[in-house]
Each structure stands twice: as C-alpha cells, then as structure tokens.
Amino acid sequence: MSDAPEQRRGAGSLLLETWLAAARARGARSFHVGVNRMNVGALRFWEARGFAALIFDRATESRTCWMGRDPGEPQDQDLV
C-alpha cells in the first residue's frame, strides 16, 4: 500500500500542533484520540508524537485504539 500524495509532507503534524495549541489555550490538560487498530501508519504517527495506548479496566476489545498523552511532554515543541 502506498502513501496518498498528501502524506509525509508535514500537514498532519502542522494540524496536530494547531489542535494542541488551541486546546492548551482553552485549558486542556490531556489529549486523546481514537485510532483504527488496523491503520498501522496512523498508530505510528500518533506514537511518534508522544501518544500511547490507553488501557481500560473491563474494556472490550474493539477496532478503536484509544491513545492519550499529557500536555507538557517535550514533543509539543518538536512536532513540525
């Protein structure tokens, strides 16, 4: 499977930085995303930016991998 023409050009990182900045400005203390477990490229994207899979007690296995990170992580300054 090849990348779409829009991928690997920094647009996702730029959008993420914009989202993080807007959320921080509104007082966000943590960040969460839902990623399809079958989308290996997306999982790598989020992991490379400091997101880690969240583990829930009594959660049933689903196609969605919930990931999160704290706002003060060093990646916030190095996304783009």
Average pLDDT over residues 57-73: 76
Q: What percent of the chain has pLDDT over 90?
A: 40
Res 64 pLDDT > 60: yes
Please report the pLDDT score of residue 61 as a whole number: 72
d(CA 70, CA 12): 19
* Model pTM above 0.75: no
* DSSP sequence for 6-60: TTTSSHHHHHHHHHHHHHHHTT---EEEEEETT-HHHHHHHHHTT-EE---TTPP
Mean pLDDT, the chain, whole residue set: 80
pLDDT higher than threshold 50 for residue 78? no
Q: How far is CA 8 from CA 20, 31, 49, 54, in A?
A: 20, 23, 14, 26
- On the question of pLDDT at 60 being above 70, the answer is no
Output 20 or 70, whichever has higher pLDDT.
20
What is the per-residue pLDDT for 76? 46
Q: What are phi and psi of 12, to 5 degrees?
A: -65, -40
